[in-house]
A = this chain, B = another copy of it.
Amino acid sequence: MGEVVVSPKSLKEFTTEVLIKVGMPAEDAALVADTLVMADVRGVSSHGIVRLPFYVNKMKLGGTKIRPKIQVVKEGPSSALVDGGHGMGQVVASFAMNLAIKKAKETGVSLVGVKASEHFGAAAYYASMAARQDMIGIAWSNGPPVMAPWGGRAAAIGNQPLAIVAPTKGEPMALDMAMSVVAGGKVRLAAKTGQKIPKDWIVNKHGRASEDPSDLPEGALLPLGYKGYGLAVMGEVLSSVLTGAGILSEVCSWLFNPTKATNTGHVMAAINIAHYIPVDDFKARMEQMRNELVNCPKAEGVDRIYVPGEIENEREAVRSKGFAVSEAVFGDLQKLAAEYDVKIGFVID
């Protein structure tokens, strides 16, 4: 299958225009477009432009509100609970992180809980908003059940993406991870291409570890050991039990149930560095830490040691000039262009 090289800047404009035509406010449309294209630019294409047709479809079918009423339903000096009104997760999560940043400016640290939200894409996007304000940002979400509990054989819990992002003198240091060994997309890709998968990725419906990726739909992803399972549970406690969002099976798949609100929950925390240590000291200390880690003697066959987010930062430097999408994805974008009468100006010849 061929590929089409696109300009991120123009693709963002295209996406914004499509979302405005769907009915979103211009500011929200630009934000969602930015999260999608940024994910592609950073090489996290599973959360990139490939999602646009699904998001648009879900808005058209009413499963996601195009112009949600986002409300702060409870508030303390460093806390808030936000009702996302079943809007796009990107819009709701950004609202919540902006509120967290505002509160952390005043009090030092804050945590905003979110209910009635939707799939928010790449968690690091929101945590990075805090890092740009010289704060450490944390974003944690629940999601539809895709993963077995430790010792289980059915999908009972989300893989609970967690991002922690800290500022440095250069690009932020960004951890963005889910609690499964791998993402479901990797297993589905192996199924498509007929490849075997490692034994710790999934459990089949009989409760046995399986190397056959086609066992996933009736089985479940495996957590990153009992520790990954434990973190996933605590992700549910914070993003859902605490916020009033759907718990476990109450969160339906945004992908497979486009007519239904998922009631996804998140928490967004901001830690204002200057309340602890001067920001310049913090950044110098970040550099000290990084240098020591990346200069550690290397294991056999390893060329380089990274710190979290460094690979994505380097990809961003390259891919912000242009990146390739598959012909299938390009075809979907052409359909959207036709449906909403938006010009495709993003192809780089």
**Interface, chain A (partner B; CB < 8 A):** 74, 76-81, 106-111, 113, 136, 148-154, 156-157, 164, 166, 173, 175, 177, 181, 203, 206-208, 224-225, 227-228, 230-231, 233-234, 236-238, 240-244, 247-249, 269, 271-273, 275-277, 281-282, 285-286, 288-289, 292-294, 296-300, 302, 304-308
Contacts and interface: CB of A to CB of B under 8 A. Distances in A.
B227 A136 contact: no
Number of copies: 2
A300 B206 contact: yes
Given A271-B242, A307-B233, A207 B300 contact: yes
A150 B231 CA distance: 20
10 interchain residue pairs of minimum CB distance? A79-B108, A76-B108, A207-B299, A152-B296, A78-B78, A78-B107, A77-B107, A151-B302, A79-B275, A156-B296
A151 B299 contact: yes
A297 B145 CA distance: 14
Given A156-B292, A241-B166, A151 B228 contact: no
Given A76-B108, A152-B299, A237-B289, A276 B230 contact: no
Given A152-B299, A175-B234, A81 B288 contact: no
Nearest to A286: B241
Contact of A247 (B164, B173, B175, B289): B289
A4 to B, nearest CB: 31
Nearest to A245: B285
Given A272-B79, A276-B81, A175 B296 contact: no
A299 B233 contact: no
5 contacts: A77-B78, A78-B109, A149-B305, A177-B227, A237-B286
B153 A298 contact: yes
Contacts of A175: 230-231, 233-234
Given A74-B276, A108-B111, A153-B300, 16 more contacts: A76-B107, A76-B109, A78-B78, A78-B108, A79-B271, A81-B275, A81-B277, A107-B107, A109-B111, A149-B296, A152-B296, A156-B292, A164-B237, A233-B293, A240-B289, A242-B273
